[in-house]
Amino acid sequence: MLSPTPLSIRRLALAGVIADTAIMSTGAAVRLSSSGLGCPDWPRCSPADIVASKNAGQTLLNTWIEFSNRLLNFPLVIITVLVFIAAWHFRPQGPGGQKRRDLFWLGLAQPLGVVAQAVIGGIVVLTKLSPAAVSVHFLVSASIVAAAVTLYTRCGEGTAPPTALVRRDLRLLSATLVAVTAVMLAAGTVVTGTGPLAGNAAAARYKLPLEGVTQLHADVGWLFAGLAVALVLGLRVSGAPPQAMRAAWIMIGSLGLQGVLGYIQYFTHLPAGLVWIHVTGSVLVWIAVLRLFFALRDRGPVNTAQTEPTAVLPARQPEPLDR
């Protein structure tokens, strides 16, 4: 990790994206299995035990689901620290080359994000699954995933100013899609925090009508779908490069599956397993939207050319003039 290559640092950044996505998925499993208070204390599992143990009002299964999610933070910390070290030491032009400051800050965001999430997670437990705290917990995780995706993308690019690969209106539409996706994720946390799968039967809920917030979430989803279809069609007719079209088709495909899952779970009265797939799918859609956004511009390849020291030539003596 002290001398990462362009290939090794990109693979490590990808591991960071996968780890961040996995912790979000397992965190959703904790909430949807009513295990949110399986460990009712923090940072201990209970006032009497550090590790998982039987707690009043909780099954041992609930306790182990919650405790296992906490344990997953340890490999996540290791991965994020390795990502940061690699980003800190990365010199694409060799030992004598310059560091990539852009990668340094994106790499630093990974371990700092894990620390922030640990603190917010403690607040979630100590407030007995306050819906606002749970929503913040999920959205901060989504922000960490966004930083990880950005780092992965930048590891494969140079440092040249970005060059647009498509028309300006399409790039603005892609940026709008990123913003709408963030709103859709936030609306999804409100739906979960209002409905029956808020982490525990005794957990507080948003004092909102479930049908109303569900309809709002669906409306944002339809807005997202309209913008996504318009963007894909615009890219298609304008002759966008193959990498942009590939990212666009992945995005629209993931969105279609997510929409179908959303309506199935609603009409089947929110089965926990299906809701978990839907929540995990929302993270994958978020990644697909970000990847499409970055695919619409180019910063050139990573400059790996070795710089050779310039030889110092002796001063040239003036030649005598012919008389």
Distance of CA 120 to the CA centre of its chain: 17
Burial code of 93-110, b = ≥16 C-beta within 10 A, e = fewer? Answer: eeeeeeebebbeebbbbb
Q: Where are the domains of the chain?
A: 1-156, 161-302
Amino acid 279: pLDDT: 92
**CA pair distance 63, 66, nearest whole angstrom:** 5
Amino acid 241: pLDDT: 95
Residue 185's Cβ-side half-sphere holds a number of Cα atoms within 13 Å equal to 29
pLDDT, averaged per 10 consecutive residues of the chain (323 residues), comes to 82 94 92 85 84 75 87 91 92 74 91 93 91 94 96 91 94 97 95 87 89 93 95 95 95 93 88 91 96 94 63 48 42
Kindly report the pTM of this predicted structure.
0.89
Element (H, E) at 85: helix 73-89
**CA pair distance 76, 67, nearest whole angstrom:** 15
